[in-house]
């Protein structure tokens, strides 16, 4: 079975009884990392919605008409949609479509050119192709014909925008011929913004005039072949394996613009009115899509992540001062280029949407910390994120309160508090949250933060004056709060304040993604974690399945419970195009399947590589080049209950630890020599050389 393939056999349904479903579209989706196209239709026409990661209206404030906007739509008329079939080839970046007797091949080239070939019987007229530009949100639109090319421009450049944006589309029919009784017509559409090129209009025109259908098709296929060759997972359950691969495709399809990483809804924006302006929500939504990229050996997808975060540094200093602290603090959300979508004068908390939470910047550190431990790329860290991590730690150095030898977190809510309600806000209603002590998610994030910044600084030989401060915080940060629920000891959401909520997975995010509890933890702590995990089944949580399911693998719950959770998400929320229709955001749920499967097959966050740690050993499985902390690529296979192969490539030449009682010998592949190792119980340890591969037998 080809698990890089998907077939859609009916037209998308985005309304039921006239009611528009949640914004995540169900039609076929094609993307290249920056540019995305969603298939849709009306009664007579095929409609292809175009969006791009960097096309925003930079209008500030909450609930204004700023945010990410739709570029336009391609209208292909006179197509019989009663017979409907679209084949998605994720490993080629290609769609093959059949609508009655009309066939369409479709792909998006790496250089932001949309290509499609329409094949119709020569006995009927060729479908017509046009472009429509939205006339909403006060955009300035224009069209022109230049050298036989139809050009369309959409701009946001009024006085009330803080940054001007513009996009140009050029549509060209490149070739038409008759072959074997078919009319074959090829089209290309370039999409260029003013962020791509200051001369975006002439650039877009030049691109279509010099386009090369066959050459760019080959480039597109080569790009996706290379992407999927970086790692591979093979499972007996081919449905899960297929969703694993399609999820990686969709994530890579919107993570290619290094200045404009994806907001809540990536680049499948079908109109101008997506929820929350499609912004960057920092209390997990922005971070969640990246949970799986390092273990899947795609660190390149991280390259755009820090851009909006680093652009907020000046504002972050000011936010920290609101709380009497140095360093960086964040509101709940913002847009690219430091776009203000957080100011709200009636908000009771400095007129800014912090929503009672101080942990947003710490949450933003989760992904660069994952990058650090999985790559140990010192130069990259210094250039891209060490300063941000350092200054986020500086905020917490000031904000933490030391009492009776323990560091406490006060006045930081585990869940959002609706401060924005102005006169309708009642302090007494939310007193427990407002005056919370030791919110458990923040404790996990802060523990993660100080352990990581300490490790970074020592590796980079920087900030030694901070070491005693960080060591003290690491040693004396408060324990995770607990209480008795349903007769079992469980984690409590905060030491003082809110005890529990039956929605979301905040009470488990110190396990994942903060990585503070796992197989190396004290057995009593693991028991509390497992009690908490099962006290409320959150496998179908609209916000938290992307952390709940991987957390289960981290603490070693029954693997079938976790796998059933994956299947439940596929059946409940999976759509024909392989996106997930949840209400807690958009692209964040694409990480659920790959992040969970990777954690079930291999874990390393405690600096010990564990093979198939949460897997039924009766189920065969294998993986190639999953990335482990310490900068290792690990490949292994489980067959008939035994690990039959294990190879580890060291990228940085660091010490490697592997938990596996069956290892008898370690062979260095370059010269086939046997190398020395030490054993501590079931764990072996050995020194490695950079870019050397080792076979463990």
Q: What is the pLDDT of residues 558-617, one digit of tens each?
A: 999 999 999 999 999 999 999 998 876 789 999 999 999 999 999 999 999 999 999 999
Given pLDDT bands bounded at 50, 70 and 90, which one contains residue 19?
low
Residue 521: HSE in the Cβ half-sphere, 13 Å Cα cutoff: 19
Write down the pLDDT at residue 593: 98
Nearest alpha-carbon partner for 107 in 34, 188, 175:
188
- Return the H-helix or E-strand segment holding 378: helix 378-384
pLDDT digits (tens, 9 = 90+) for 649-662: 999 999 999 999 88
C-alpha to C-alpha distance for 492 and 501, rounded to whole angstroms: 10
* Mean confidence (pLDDT) of the chain: 95
Q: Per residue, what are the HEC states of 539-551?
A: CCCCCCHHHHHHH
The percent helix, strand, coil of the chain (3-state, each to 5) is 30, 30, 40
Position 220 scores a pLDDT of 98
Show the tokens assigned to 5: 């393939």
Q: How many CB atoms lie within 10 A of CB 674?
A: 10
Q: What is the pLDDT of residues 358-403, one digit of tens each?
A: 999 999 999 999 999 999 999 999 999 999 999 999 999 999 999 9
**Integer Cα distance of 25 and 63 in angstroms:** 22
Which pairing describes strands 609-611 and 656-659: parallel, antiparallel, or unpaired?
A: parallel
pLDDT of residue 558: 98
Res 292 pLDDT > 90: yes
Cα distance between residue 50 and residue 315, in whole Å:
32
List, in sequence order, every residue forming a beta bridge with 343; answer none if it has no partner.
352
pLDDT digits (tens, 9 = 90+) for 659-668: 998 899 999 9
Residue 49: asked if its preceding bond is cis (omega within 30°), the reply is no
Sign of the torsion formed by the C-alpha atoms of 506, 512, 516 and 518: positive
583 or 676: which carries more pLDDT confidence? 676
Q: How far apart are CA 479 and CA 517, in angstroms?
A: 12
Tell me which DSSP letter residue 635 carries: E
**What is the greatest pairwise CA distance in the chain?**
87
The packing angle between helices 440-460 and 366-375, to 10°, is: 40
What sign does the dihedral 510-513-519-520 (CA atoms) show?
Answer: negative
**Nearest Cα to Cα of residue 248 among 57, 473, 31, 75:** 31
Q: What residues contact 258, with CB distance under 8 A and at least 6 apart?
A: 303, 304, 307
In angstroms, the CA 157 to CA 150 distance is 22
pLDDT at 125: 79
Classify residue 538 as exposed, middle or buried by CB count within 10 Å of its CB (0-12, 13-18, 19+).
buried
Close Cβ partners of 48 (under 8 Å, ≥ 6 residues apart): 37, 38, 39, 40, 73, 74, 76
Q: Find where tokens 């009682």 sit.
A: 661
The pair of structure tokens assigned to 472 is 């003290």
Q: What is the DSSP letter of 480?
A: P
In whole angstroms, what is the distance from residue 424 CA to residue 87 CA? 52
Structure tokens at 373: 């431990």
Domains of the chain with CATH codes: 5-232 (2.70.98.50), 279-480 (1.50.10.10), 502-601 (no CATH), 621-696 (2.60.40.1180)
Looking at residue 543, what is its pLDDT?
86
CA 677 to chain centre: 38
pLDDT of residue 20: 58
Place of tokens 């933060």: 449
Closest CA to 609 of 645, 591, 635, 642: 635
Determine the pLDDT at residue 518: 97
- The pair of structure tokens assigned to 194 is 């003013």
Q: With beta carbons less than 8 A apart as the criterion, state whether 639 and 236 touch.
A: no
Report whether 567 contacts 523 (CB < 8 A). no
Q: In this structure, how many other beta carbons lie within 10 angstroms of the beta carbon of residue 187?
A: 23
**Is a pLDDT exceeding 80 seen at residue 123?**
no
CA atoms within 13 A on the CB side of 15: 7
d(CA 657, CA 477): 28
Q: Cβ distance 642 to 311 under 8 Å? A: no
| Cα–Cα distance for residue pair 256/329, rounded to 1 Å | 27
Helical (H) or strand (E) element with 265: none
Whole-number pLDDT of residue 63: 73
Closest C-alpha to 362, from 337, 397, 336, 338:
397
Phi, psi of 696 (to 5 degrees): -105, 120
Q: Which two tokens stand for residue 165?
A: 């944006």
> Closest Cα to residue 436, out of 362, 498, 350?
498
pLDDT score recorded for residue 44 = 82
Distance CA 14, CA 6 (A): 19
- pLDDT tens digits, residue range 35-62? 999 999 988 899 999 999 999 999 998 8
Tokens of 679: 């054993």
CB-facing half-sphere around the CA of 652: CA atoms within 13 A: 18
Lookup: tokens for 413 = 């809510």
Q: What pLDDT is stored for residue 13 in this prediction?
A: 82
Please state, in angstroms and rounded to a whole number, the distance separating the CA atoms of residues 258 and 255. Answer: 8
* Of the candidate ranges 214-218, 293-297, 494-498, 511-515, the one whose mean pLDDT is the lowest: 494-498
- Residue 479's pLDDT is 97
Which range, 10-14, 156-160, 342-346, 407-411, is most confident?
Answer: 407-411
Identify the CA nearest to 566 among candidates 517, 535, 599: 599
What are the DSSP E strand ranges found in 282-415? 333-334, 401-403, 406-408
The partner residues of 113 in beta bridges, in order of sequence, read 190
Distance CA 697, CA 688 (A): 16
pLDDT at 14 > cutoff 80: no
- The alpha carbons of the chain give a radius of gyration, in whole angstroms, of 26
Tokens 């009115």 label which residue? Answer: 273
Determine phi and psi for 320, rounding to 5 degrees: -60, -35
Portion of the chain with pLDDT greater than 90, in percent? 89
Measured CA to CA, the distance from residue 660 to residue 560 in angstroms comes to: 22
Confidence of residue 17 (pLDDT cuts 50, 70, 90): low
Between residues 617 and 63, the one the model is more confident about: 617
């Amino acid at each position: 079975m080809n698990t890089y393939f998907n077939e859609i056999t009916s037209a998308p349904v985005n309304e039921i009884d006239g009611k528009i479903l949640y914004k995540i579209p169900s039609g076929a989706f094609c993307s290249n990392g920056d540019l995305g196209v969603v298939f849709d239709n009306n009664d007579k026409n095929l409609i292809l919605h175009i969006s791009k990661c960097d096309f925003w209206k930079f209008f500030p404030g909450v609930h204004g008409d700023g945010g990410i906007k739709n570029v336009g739509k391609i209208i292909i008329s006179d197509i019989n949609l009663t017979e409907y079939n679209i084949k998605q080839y994720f490993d080629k970046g290609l769609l093959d479509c059949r609508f009655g007797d009309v066939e369409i091949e479709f792909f998006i080239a790496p250089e932001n050119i949309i290509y499609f070939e329409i094949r119709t019987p020569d006995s009927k007229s060729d479908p017509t192709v046009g472009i429509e530009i939205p006339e909403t949100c006060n955009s300035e639109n224009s069209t022109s014909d230049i050298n036989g090319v139809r050009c369309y421009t959409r701009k946001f450049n009024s006085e009330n925008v803080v940054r001007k944006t513009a996009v140009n589309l050029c549509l060209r029919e490149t070739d038409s011929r008759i072959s074997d009784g078919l009319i074959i017509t090829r089209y290309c559409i370039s999409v260029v913004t003013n962020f791509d090129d200051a001369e975006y209009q002439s650039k877009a025109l030049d691109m279509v005039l010099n386009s090369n259908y066959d050459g760019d098709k080959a480039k597109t296929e080569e790009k996706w072949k290379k992407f999927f060759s970086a790692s591979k997972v093979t499972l007996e359950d081919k449905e899960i394996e297929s969703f694993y691969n399609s999820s990686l495709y969709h994530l890579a399809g919107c993570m290619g613009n290094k200045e404009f990483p994806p907001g809540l809804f990536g680049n499948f924006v079908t109109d101008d009115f997506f929820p929350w302006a499609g912004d960057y929500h920092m209390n997990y939504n922005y971070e969640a899509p990246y949970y799986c990229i390092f273990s899947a050996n795609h660190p390149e997808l991280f390259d755009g992540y820090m851009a909006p975060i680093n652009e907020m540094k000046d504002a972050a200093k000011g936010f920290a001062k609101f709380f009497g602290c140095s360093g960086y603090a964040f509101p709940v959300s913002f847009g690219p280029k430091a776009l203000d979508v957080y100011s709200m004068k009636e908000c009771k908390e400095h007129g800014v949407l912090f929503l009672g939470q101080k942990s947003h910047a710490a949450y933003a550190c989760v992904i660069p910390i994952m990058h650090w431990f999985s790559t140990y790329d010192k130069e990259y860290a210094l250039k891209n994120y060490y300063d941000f991590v350092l200054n986020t730690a500086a905020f917490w150095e000031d904000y933490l309160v030391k009492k009776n030898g323990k560091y406490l977190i006060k006045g930081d809510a585990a869940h959002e508090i609706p401060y924005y309600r102005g006169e309708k806000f009642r302090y007494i209603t939310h007193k427990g949250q407002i005056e919370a002590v030791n919110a458990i998610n923040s404790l996990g994030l802060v523990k993660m933060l100080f352990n990581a910044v300490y490790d970074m600084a020592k590796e980079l030989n920087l900030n030694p004056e901070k070491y005693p401060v960080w060591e003290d915080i690491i040693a004396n940060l408060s324990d995770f709060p607990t209480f008795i629920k349903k007769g079992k000891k469980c984690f409590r959401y905060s030491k003082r304040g809110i005890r529990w909520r039956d929605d979301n997975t905040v009470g488990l995010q110190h396990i994942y993604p903060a990585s503070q509890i796992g197989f190396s933890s004290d057995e009593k702590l693991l028991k509390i974690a497992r009690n908490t995990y099962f006290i409320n089944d959150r496998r179908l949580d609209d916000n938290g399945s992307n952390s709940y399911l991987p957390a289960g693998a981290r603490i070693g719950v029954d693997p079938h419970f976790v796998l059933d959770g994956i299947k439940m998400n596929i059946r409940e929320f999976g759509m024909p195009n392989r996106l997930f229709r949840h209400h807690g955001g958009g692209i964040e749920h694409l990480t659920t399947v790959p992040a969970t499967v990777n954690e079930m097959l291999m874990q390393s966050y405690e600096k010990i590589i564990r093979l198939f740690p949460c897997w039924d050993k009766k189920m065969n499985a294998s993986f190639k080049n999953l990335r482990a902390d310490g900068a290792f690529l690990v490949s292994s296979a489980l067959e008939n209950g035994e690990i039959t192969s294990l190879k580890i490539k060291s990228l940085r030449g660091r010490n490697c630890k592997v938990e596996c009682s069956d290892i008898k010998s370690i062979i260095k592949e370059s010269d086939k020599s046997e190398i020395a190792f030490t054993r501590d119980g079931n764990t072996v340890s050995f020194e490695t050389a950079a870019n050397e591969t080792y076979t463990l037998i």
